A and B are shown apart, each in its own frame.
Chain A
């Protein structure tokens, strides 16, 4: 079981800021979780999160336990029990 936290417009689409996703021992990457989510929430989520080629839009960042996945293995980053995946609009402070 992993926890997915969403921010921005994703919260409106998922109608919740947080949900639990069950992952299998074989399907335990960030990509697996995203597949489950897009299957569950369909076109509205796909349109918001993915670009025309099916990749995550550059405007979104994904963190696992607070670490940006671009610094680990990207979408292939493996997940463990109770990991927290955060999907949020690219962080630009100032």
Chain B
């Protein structure tokens, strides 16, 4: 049995209160490593087709990896589930310390299924597991819940994964919060937890974690940390500026989504960039476990109408979603809006998108203040942004519609709102406009959970100028390699921001030192490719195909208006060619369905059987 694992899966059924502990099959660690690999495998094999994501049949799979609990820098966990926002494959990654505590309690993976009759809190205390009543916690925000649970259970060291009111109200993009404010943010895992009447999961673990080659690992870490220090992204950029470092470049290049995706540069963007943050609001840097990059920033607003607002953030993504999209260039207001999202426990990226979408509808007179409960939802109105976020979190009035996410909200609003709505597969995009970054455009379109920037992370290479952002050629192959390498990251649970210091050969080294498994680069690549295909197969069975691998029509018709991206848009022919190239490299048919032969090569023969009908449909 490979080392660096706790070697157990903990399964908790909230419907009947059953708690089972099963050994982690050795085959799973060898075939999928951990994290996203094992989580996706379990999700695919355990969930029936076509379930309602808010029903007891959905599962929340918290998966740690071989690096969890060790001195190798790592994230908290990967959470796999069927997304209530998109109704397809859902996965969220979370930073911080929860995963380590779970593994030290003796479990690599925690599966929560069923539904509790009354609000509940799961309490995992090493070998003991209890399902406690949490009715007194219902209605509390994500921060209070953390404090109260730790106080009641009497241990500062307890780690709590919890939902806020947004999760309780089943806001489709509600999130799960751990530590102070590390979030499993996107695709609505908080709503899944809320639908199970599960307010919180508290963990305390005291076991030790061993690795295969400890002395060698420590020596490796010495050199690795030197490498991290010398590399610009990990040694300077992220530690000094955090992700907000990207604001300047994105605006200069004209790809910073502004005015609900109608523009590429925010006026006076310097007011919300990393330097302004450092000067005005950043108090200190924070890191995840063992991480030398410490990209996270703690901010506090010192003066003005939002004085006292405290945030772990903002990050690039929330500067774009709560700043660029609604055209707000007041950093204090963004902090306040983001803090509110964190208190309510919902994804600030989607929140910014839906409110700005509503602003766009308002701007075009598709909705009026009669629809918005009297709120003047005009661009730049930061008060309106904050008020709307509150209404969404509580599902009050117009907030109830926006709480459904942009795709569904557009449907309910009607009157042409569909054309304005920006999403891919039902997920609102991250902060990079595909019209000015052709490779990122493909990456967002193919990302397994919807318009996500992390699955492929191609945006970063185009932003830096490592590859030409305007070229369509070569992007398909580049994306394939990225997706597979980063899928392995998510299985170890490594952070994406270490992408410059983990080429394939370094990955094989770390896998060996941690687990003892001697895997070649090729074998690791197969794991990565397998994960991509498994996630795709899950979603394909739920109806995803080629038609869902596109940006909205607007991006092929309306050019970006400013700065260095002026005039740019997606060329349909070139995009199709790029997409076809990607499918061919992946061994998928023209409709984007994984072929039987590729699946068999990836040891996913049974999946090929499930997709047989879908594969045959193309022929007709």
Contact = CB atoms under 8 A, between A and B. Distances in A.
B588 interface: no
Given A7-B275, A61-B465, A90-B232, A66 B563 contact: yes
Contacts of B474: none
A71 B465 contact: yes
Given A61-B249, A86-B252, A91-B250, A66 B465 contact: no
Interface in B435-478: 453, 459-460, 463-466, 468
Nearest to A12: B275
Interface in B474-518: 496-497
Interface residues of A, number: 24
Given A91-B245, A92-B238, A17 B270 contact: yes
A13 interface: no
Q: Is the interface of B mostly helix, strand, loop or mixed?
A: helix
B240 interface: yes
A8 B275 contact: yes
Which of A63, A68, A90, A94 has most chain B Cβ within 10 Å?
A94
A57 B230 CA distance: 11
A59 interface: yes
A89 B237 contact: yes
Nearest to A17: B270
Which of A67, A90, A91, A92 has most chain B Cβ within 10 Å?
A92
A65 B249 contact: no
Nearest to A5: B252
A63 B459 CA distance: 17
Given A61-B465, A88-B248, A94 B315 contact: yes
A1 interface: no
Contact of A89 (B236, B459, B468, B565): B236
B464 A68 contact: yes
B76 interface: no
B237 A63 contact: no
A93 B248 contact: no
A67 B247 CA distance: 15
A90 B248 contact: no
B243 interface: yes
B468 A63 contact: no
A68 to B, nearest CB: 3
B233 A92 contact: yes
B241 A8 contact: yes
B250 A59 contact: no
A11 interface: yes
Contacts, number: 96
Nearest to B471: A71
Nearest to B241: A89
B236 A67 contact: no
Given A7-B275, A65-B564, A71-B465, A92 B237 contact: yes
A70 interface: yes
Interface in A25-76: 57-59, 61, 63, 65-71
A94 B432 CA distance: 10
B69 interface: no
Contacts of A7: 248, 273, 275
A89 B252 CA distance: 13
Contacts of A90: 232-233, 236-237, 245, 464
A92 B465 contact: no
B245 A89 contact: yes
Q: Is the interface of A mostly helix, strand, loop or mixed?
A: loop
A59 B240 CA distance: 11
Nearest to A57: B232
B496 A94 contact: yes
A61 B565 CA distance: 18
A8 B250 CA distance: 15
A10 B563 CA distance: 22
B293 to A, nearest CB: 10
Interface in A8-28: 8, 11, 17
A66 B568 CA distance: 13
B248 A94 contact: no
B598 to A, nearest CB: 31
A55 to B, nearest CB: 13
B468 A71 contact: yes
A60 to B, nearest CB: 8
B275 A93 contact: no
Which of B245, B273, B316 has most chain A Cβ within 10 Å?
B245
Nearest to A66: B564
Which of A17, A61, A86, A93 has most chain B Cβ within 10 Å?
A93
A90 B243 CA distance: 11
B312 interface: no
Nearest to A63: B252
Contact of A66 (B232, B254, B315): B254
A93 B497 contact: no
Contact of A94 (B270, B295, B468): B295
A77 B463 CA distance: 19
Nearest to B234: A92
Nearest to B500: A92
B250 A93 contact: yes
A75 B316 CA distance: 29
B153 to A, nearest CB: 34
Contact of A59 (B237, B431, B459, B496): B237
Contacts of B235: 59
A71 B253 CA distance: 13
Contacts of B233: 90, 92
A59 B236 contact: yes
Contacts of A70: 465-466
Contacts of B113: none
Nearest to A70: B465
A93 B565 contact: no
Given A17-B270, A63-B253, A66-B254, A94 B563 contact: no
16 contacts: A8-B275, A17-B270, A57-B232, A63-B253, A67-B253, A71-B468, A86-B248, A88-B249, A89-B245, A90-B233, A91-B250, A92-B237, A92-B246, A93-B243, A93-B463, A94-B453
Given A67-B564, A71-B465, 12 more contacts: A7-B273, A8-B240, A63-B249, A66-B252, A70-B465, A88-B248, A91-B245, A91-B248, A92-B460, A93-B247, A94-B243, A94-B316
